[in-house]
Every structure is written in C-alpha cells, then in structure tokens.
Structure 1
Amino acid sequence: MQDLYQNLNQMISFRHAVTHDPIPLDFHQHQDHYEIYFFLTGDVHYFIEKQVYPLQYGDLLIMHSNELHRPNFQSKKQRYENVVIHFNPAVLKGFSSPQFNLLDCFNNRVFGEQNRMRLTPQQIDDIMKIYERMETHSRAQALPGSEILYVSAFIELLVFINRTFQNQGKQEEQVMIPDKLSSLFTYIDENLDQDLSLEVLEHVVFMNRSYLCRLFKKHTGSTIHEHILFKRIAKAKQLLREGSTVTDTCQLAGFNDYSNFIRTFKKAVGLPPRQYQTQQRRV
C-alpha cells in the first residue's frame, strides 16, 4: 500500500480535458493500464475492437489493456470534453472483497464487447460528483490526507461502475460497422501471421480494394494498414509476455522481416522486443 501512495500519479492518472480542435489519434492500447473514459461533449464515434459507438453526453466507456481503440472525430473545430482515468489494475489488490471484484466489469465480459454504459441523468449526476472529488483531491496533494481521499474516491468510482455494469445487463450495441467490415475484422484477428495485403483482403470480403479502404476509413477513421500493424504489435506483446522468443514472435505476429519487426516494435512500444520481454518478467 505504501508503494501505491509513493507512485500515485503513475498508478492512477486523472485527466479532465477540453479542446476546440481535437488531434486525431491512432489505434492504441495502454500497456499494463486499464482505461475509464467519460464523454461530455463533441461529435465522436468511438472504435473499440470490432464495435463503433456513437457517443452522447454521459456515455461511459471501459477498456482493459488489450483492447484496441481510438476516437473518430466526425467534425473539425469542435468542442471536445472528456474525463479519462488510466490505472494499473495492480493497485486494486486488497481493495476487492470476496463478494465484489472491482475489476469484474473489465475482465469478466466478452473481449471487445459491452465497453459502453449509457447512464441515466441521475447516474450522470452521481458520477460527476465523484469525478469532482477526484479532481479536487488530485490538485490538493500538498494537503495532509489528500492522497488517501483521492484513492478513496477512485474506489468509490469503481464500485459505481461495476454496480452499473451488473444492473444494466447486455445493452443493445449501437454497432455502425457494416457486415463486410465485421467479417474483415474477424479474418484479420484470425490470420495475423498470414498475408493480409489488400489483394488478399478484397477477395476475402468480395469487395473492390479501393471501396474497401474508403469504407474502412469512414467507419474507423484510420487505414486498414494501421489497424493490421497495431493488431500485430498487440499480438507480439502477448507472445513475448508468454515467453516466446523474439524470432518466433516475429513470424507468429506476421512480421516476415526481422529488422522491420524490431524497428516497428520499438517505435510503437518504446522498447525493443527483448527489452520489453525482460521488463515484463520483472513485473
């Protein structure tokens, strides 16, 4: 517990942001951290794995570290406001009880599904009060006990989120992805070690490659190449954590050129594969 308070900002980061010209973001994951995303204003469709969620005021998104995601801004020069919390799930050891697991809503659901919770006006009011307390305590770290109140508010937030998740059940997903793209996502996930060139993919979904690329860009805000690249990086990270050699990882994740794999992995992760694997063994 002492380590938690000494490294509080690294373990639980809180950010309330407002911008009038949001910068497009690439597909990304958060290594070893989970994300809680609360949407306030903007014109955003949020892509998570194979789902696209058109967001409205008060929508809550939850993502664990392996779920690929990105916001797709529908218009420029818009006001974009959200609250985002990234946290290391290790901080919750000792806070959950046998009857209530604070990570349940992150871990005990189908991968890439049920990421969004649509809150009632009362729930939005309740969660905003928790966020306000977290923001107040994060700014008052010099005051005795502020760090304890900050963590306490965060635990209250997780209890709120899990109760909401459990009570609402599986909502009807507002999926905006055409069936052709859903089939494409599935094929890519299942064939990362194979040839995923546009020539191959257009035959998989029986669609002209130019139209396929435009359709993909429209619904995800990114390119097929970028999506495949980040999927392969995510696969490589998983293989390295599981003990695969760097050479085998290169092949199994679909990188046929070893030097390109090393360079691409380091650019995306910040560490070369072998160093990343060594770091993970220490965790």
Structure 2
Amino acid sequence: MWKANFEQPGDGITYKRHVTVEQGSFEFHLHNEYEIYFFIRGDVHYFVENSIYALQYGDLLLFNSYEIHRATFLSDKPYERVVIHFSPELMDSLSTQTTDILRCFRRRPKGEKNLLRLSEHQIVQFLSHTDKISQVCGKSGYGADVLTKTYLAELLVYINILFENRESGVEKETISAKIQEMLEYIDNNIQGNLSLESLEQRFLTNRYTLSRDFKKETGSTIYSHIIAKRISCAKQLLEEGQSVMDACAQTGFNDYTNFIRTFKKVTGMTPHQYRKVQEKRKNG
C-alpha cells in the first residue's frame, strides 16, 4: 500500500488529506474523537454500522465515537479523502442553549443519517471551510490554535445547517437478507455467545459459508465486526457510569484480562483510563 498524506495535528484537532494507491485492508474501527469525512475520489463502498454506501465525489460522512465504520475497495483506483478528527469536549464549550454545535453527531439514531451528498455549490463552500482549517491546524504561529478551533466551529455550524435542511437520505447498497439478519442478531445479542459455532447453529449454515458470505458483503471478518461492536457498546456503558467489570460482562467478554487488552488495542487507552476521561468531561 502506498500513501501520500498531508496531515496536520493540532491541539485536539487533526486535519488529514490522504491519497492511497494499491489498497490494503481497512478493518472495522471506531475512534475516541468525532470524525468528519469528505470523499474525493476512488472506487469505494463505505460500511457504517449495518449500512453500505457507494461513495461519489462530494459525499460527506459523519461518525461519532460509537459508530463503527470501514472502507471497502472495488478496484485499485487511487483513494482520496479529507478527514478531520476532533475531541468533542473541545467543541462542546462553544455550544449554547439555542445552538448545539455537535447536534449532527449526537441527535440521530446510531448508524443512521451519517451521509450527506453535497451539491456542487455545497462542495465549494465545504472545501473553503476545510482549506481555512488546513492553513492553521498544527501551526505554531500566534493565534493558530484559536483560529483552528474557530474555523472548525464555522464548519460544524455549516454542516449542521446542511443536515437540518437535507431533503432526503442517500440510497443504500443492498445487503442480502441472510447477512442483514446476522448483523441484527449480533446487535441484539452482543452480551451473549457469538462464536462461529453458535452462529452456525443459529443460522443453520456451516461456519465456512457464513464467514465467506459475510466477508464478501462487508469486506470484513465476522470476528472483527463483533469486536468493534462490543468495544463500541463498552464505551457507551463506561460513559454512562458503569464499572469496568460491568462493561466487560455486558458486552460478551468472558475474560476480564482479554477485555482490558482488547479495549486498549482498539481505543488506545484502558477501560479505567477511558472511564476517568469521561468522568472528567462530565464534571467539567
């Protein structure tokens, strides 16, 4: 895989413009930050929770810190996108009683209304906002940090207006009835036994066929999908104030040590650390 990256990390804000050739494997993942994703070019289907979208130039995707997602590639065409990650705590302070600047990330069902297909005029406006961010993000000059936060706030206001005024949703790609049923079953039984053996018995299909069909339609293994879902649920439980032990038990991790190790691998911090961060955020 070859990448040409333009990446600028700021104080709680990261701006990236990626170009990737000779695609590798992008597994299901989620972030501790919120993500703004703008698609420029490529031959890509994008999987968000249980939905698949065929992307085209000007597609805008939003992900909060609980929504699992991944790109799948239909060819080796260069894949280019702009990605902005930011800490929600950083921008929360700019919200008011009448303007929730993070509404488009929070006030919608999980895994729904993630995508907006921009018009030509909207693309120009969107890129003018991101260009301003790219010029100051990560710079050390006087006022660069303030301007980065200010320009991101402007972008978020614009995005919220776009989502508020959207006329209709973007058509999703079709998922077979069997795989859709599997996805829903995993969602509804995240605390239980989701081994290949149990799925084999539940769907009356041998594990090799299940694994092959799931990989073909989602581009991912059943295992990586389940792990991403379980960590997403664990993050929500910890944010709600559940103990680490309870979060482990309620998300199907039968081994506490494995839960700690897997959570840290996916999120970059232990469940205890994540819980403390959320407590600190709530207490200001």
Shorter-chain TM-score: what band?
A: 0.7 to 0.9
Secondary structure at the counterpart of residue 259 of structure 2: helix
1:56 aligns with 2:43: no
What is the 5 A alignment of 1:261-276? 261-276=259-274
Deviation at 1:274, TM superposition (A): 3.3
**Partner SS for 1:56:** coil
Letter in 2 for 1:105: C
1:238 is paired with a residue of what secondary structure?
helix
When structure 1 is superposed on structure 2, of 42-51 and 191-200 the one drifting more is 191-200
Match of residue 66 from structure 1: 66
The percentage of counterpart residues that share the same residue type is 44
Contact 1:202 1:208 (C-alpha < 8 Å) held by counterparts: yes
Alignment pair present for 1:154 and 2:155: no
Matching residue of 2:6:
none
How far 1:182 sits from its partner (Å)?
Answer: 1.8
Deviation string, structure 1 residues 40-60 (Cα, Å, up to 9, x no partner):
011111111011111111100
Provide the residue aligned with 2:109 in structure 1.
Answer: 110
The CA deviation string for residues 9-48 of structure 1, in whole angstroms up to 9 with x for no partner, is 24221111222234422211111x1110000011111111
Q: Which amino acid aligns with 1:87?
A: F
Q: Do the aligned partners of residues 213 and 131 (structure 1) sit closer, same or farther apart at CA in structure 2, a change above 3 Å counting?
A: same
Give the C-alpha shift of residue 206 in structure 1. Answer: 4.5
Checking the alignment, whether the CA contact within 8 Å between 1:15 and 1:85 is kept in structure 2 is yes
Cα drift, residue 199 of structure 1: 2.8
**SS at structure 2 position matched to 1:19:** strand
Quick one: distance in 1 between partners of 2:127 and 2:115?
17
Is the alpha carbon distance of 1:55 and 1:248 closer, same or farther for their aligned partners in structure 2, counting shifts above 3 Å? same
Is residue 29–residue 68 contact of structure 1 (8 Å, CA) maintained in 2? yes
Distance 1:142 1:159 in 2: 26
Contact 1:202 1:209 in 2 (8 A): yes
- For the 8 Å contact 2:117–2:170, the answer to whether it is kept is no
Which residue is 2:136 aligned to?
137
Does the Cα contact within 8 Å between 1:138 and 1:146 map onto a contact in 2? yes
What is the CA-CA distance between 1:64 and the residue it aligns to?
Answer: 0.7
Q: In structure 1, what is the equivalent of residue 21 of structure 2?
A: 20
Counterpart AA for 2:66:
N
Deviates further, 95-104 or 61-70? 95-104
SS at match of 1:168: coil
Instruction: Name the CA distance, whole Å, in 1 between partners of 2:243 and 2:141.
Output: 48
Question: Aligned equivalents of 2:262 and 2:90: distance in 1?
Answer: 31
The Cα of 1:135 is off from its aligned counterpart by 1.3
Report if the CA contact (8 A) 2:41-2:56 is conserved.
yes
1:186 CA displacement: 1.4
State how many pairs are aligned: 273
Give CA-to-partner distance per residue, 1:102-123, whole Å, 9 cap, x none: 2111111111011000011111
| Residues 190 and 252, structure 2, Cα contact 8 Å, conserved in 1 | yes
Q: 1:206 to 1:169 in 2, by over 3 A?
A: farther
Report matched runs for 1:122-271 at 5 Å. Answer: 122-138=121-137, 141-271=139-269
Structure 2 unpaired stretches of 5+: 1-8
Q: Distance in 1 between matches of 2:69 and 2:254?
A: 25
Secondary structure at 1:96's aligned position in 2? coil
RMSD: 2.2
The verdict on how the C-alpha distance between 1:129 and 1:172 changes in structure 2, with shifts beyond 3 A counting, is: closer
* Aligned counterparts of 2:91 and 2:247: Cα–Cα separation in 1: 31
How far apart, CA to CA, are the structure 1 residues paired with 2:168 and 2:105?
14
| SS in structure 1 at match of 2:192 | coil
TM-score (structure 2 length as normaliser):
0.87
What do residues 153-178 of structure 1 show as CA deviations (whole Å, max 9, x unaligned)? 21221122111111114414323322
- In structure 1, what is the equivalent of residue 99 of structure 2? 100
Report the more deviating stretch, 22-31 or 143-152.
143-152
Change (3 A) 1:92 1:277: closer
- Residue 188 of structure 1 deviates from its aligned partner by 0.7
